C-alpha cells in the first residue's frame, strides 16, 4: 500500500470517528436529562424471541444503566407459554385479548415466565457484570391481584403495587427484571398482562418514562397506510382513542392493553410513555437519545399538568447536581429541553 492510500485510509477512519463523536455530543442533552431517572421497559414480542434482537436490547439496557439511568424490566412471554401448552396438550385460548388461564395453564405460565424467560434475561444481562436480579410479582408481594372473572381462570387484575423491594434493588444499583405473575390475598398465583404490569409499576414507582417494545412501529391512524404513524399523542387523545375503540373496535386486541397502560402511567404522573418497535435495532437508544426519536410517544396534556401528588423516583449523587435538585418530584425535568 502506497503512502497516498495510507493517508486516504487514515482520513476516512478519522471521519468515521469524528462522526461517532458528534453523535455522542448530540446525545448529551438527552443523557443529561435522563441520568439518575428511573425508566420502566416492557419487553416482549419478536425482540424477545429473536436471539440477535434480544442481545441488542439487553446491551441497550446495560448501556442505559452505565450512562446513569435506572432501568426496570417487565416481561411477558406469550409465545413460549402457547408453545409449551401445546406440547403438553393443554388448551391455548384467548378471550378479549387475554389468555384463558385455568390452574393447569397457570403452572405453565409460571414455569415459562419465572423459570425460563426471566432467568434467561437475567443471565444475558449479567454477561456484562453483576447487574440484574430476577423477580416476579409474588416476590415481596410486589403485585397483589384478584381474579378478573371465573371464566378467565387465574387471570388477575392488579389491586396493589408495593415498590419496596424494587426501590431497594435500584438503590443497590441492580436492574430488576420482573415476570408478570402476581399473588392473590389467598396466596394463589395470577397471570397478568405484562403491558398492564409495566404501566402500573411505572405509575407506582414514579418513573421518568415507560417504554413498550412491541412488533410494530407504533400507533397508526390507518394501520394499512404506514405513512400515518402517530409520532406523539396527548393523554386526552389516548383516552378518547380507547373510548372510540371500545365502541367501534378500531384498535387490535394486542394494542389495547398497551394504550391502557400508557394512559394509566401518564395519568398518574409519568411524564412520557413510548410504544416502540423492538425489532428495530437500538430503538430504545434512538427514542431516548436522539432529536427525532421513533415510535409513538404519549405525554401529558400540558407540560405543567403533572399531578400535585406525583412523586418521581428521587435522584441522587451526580444526577442531583446535573438537575439542580437533591430530591425527586421532577426537580430539573422541565428546566431542560423537552423532546417534542
First to last CA, the chain: 50
Q: Are 100 and 122 in contact (CB under 8 A)?
A: no
Residues acting as catalytic residues: 42, 45, 78, 195, 258
CA dihedral 99, 103, 107, 110 (to 10 degrees): 50
Give the Cα separation of 255 and 257 in Å (integer). 6
CA angle 27, 29, 34 (to 5 degrees): 95
Task: Kindly state the cell numbers that stand for 314.
Answer: 428521587
Is 297:265 a contact under the CB 8 Å cutoff? no
Alpha carbon dihedral 23, 27, 28, 33, in 10-degree steps, equals 180
Amino acid at each position: 500500500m502506497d503512502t497516498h492510500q495510507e493517508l486516504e485510509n487514515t482520513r476516512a477512519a478519522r471521519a468515521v470517528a469524528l462522526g461517532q463523536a458528534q453523535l455522542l455530543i448530540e446525545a448529551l442533552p438527552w443523557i443529561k436529562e435522563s441520568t439518575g431517572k428511573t425508566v420502566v421497559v416492557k419487553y416482549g414480542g419478536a425482540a424477545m424471541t429473536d436471539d440477535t434482537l434480544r442481545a441488542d436490547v439487553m446491551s441497550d439496557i446495560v448501556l442505559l444503566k452505565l450512562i446513569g439511568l435506572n432501568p426496570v424490566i417487565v416481561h411477558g412471554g406469550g409465545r413460549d407459554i402457547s408453545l409449551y401448552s401445546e406440547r403438553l396438550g393443554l388448551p391455548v385460548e384467548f378471550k378479549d385479548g387475554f389468555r384463558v388461564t385455568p390452574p393447569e395453564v397457570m403452572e405453565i405460565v409460571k414455569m415459562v415466565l419465572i423459570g425460563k424467560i426471566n432467568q434467561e434475561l437475567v443471565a444475558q444481562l449479567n454477561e456484562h457484570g453483576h447487574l440484574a436480579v430476577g423477580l416476579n410479582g409474588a416476590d415481596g408481594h410486589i403485585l397483589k391481584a384478584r381474579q378478573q372473572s371465573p371464566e378467565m381462570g387465574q387471570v388477575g387484575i392488579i389491586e396493589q403495587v408495593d415498590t419496596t423491594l424494587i426501590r431497594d434493588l435500584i438503590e443497590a444499583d441492580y436492574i430488576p427484571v420482573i415476570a408478570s405473575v402476581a399473588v392473590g390475598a389467598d396466596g394463589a398465583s395470577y397471570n397478568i398482562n405484562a403491558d398492564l404490569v409495566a404501566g402500573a409499576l411505572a405509575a407506582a414507582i414514579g418513573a421518568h418514562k415507560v417504554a413498550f417494545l412491541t412488533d410494530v412501529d407504533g400507533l397508526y391512524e390507518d394501520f394499512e397506510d404506514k405513512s400515518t404513524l402517530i409520532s406523539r399523542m396527548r393523554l386526552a387523545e389516548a383516552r378518547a382513542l380507547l373510548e372510540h375503540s371500545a365502541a367501534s373496535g378500531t384498535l387490535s386486541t394486542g394494542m389495547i392493553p398497551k394504550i391502557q397502560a400508557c394512559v394509566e402511567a401518564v395519568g398518574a404522573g409519568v411524564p412520557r410513555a413510548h410504544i416502540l418497535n423492538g425489532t428495530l435495532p437500538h430503538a430504545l437508544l434512538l427514542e431516548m437519545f436522539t432529536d427525532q426519536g421513533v415510535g409513538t410517544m404519549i405525554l401529558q396534556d400540558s407540560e405543567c399538568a403533572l399531578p400535585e401528588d406525583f412523586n418521581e423516583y428521587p435522584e441522587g449523587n451526580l444526577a442531583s447536581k446535573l438537575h439542580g435538585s437533591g430530591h425527586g418530584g421532577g426537580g430539573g425535568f422541565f428546566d431542560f429541553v423537552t423532546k417534542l
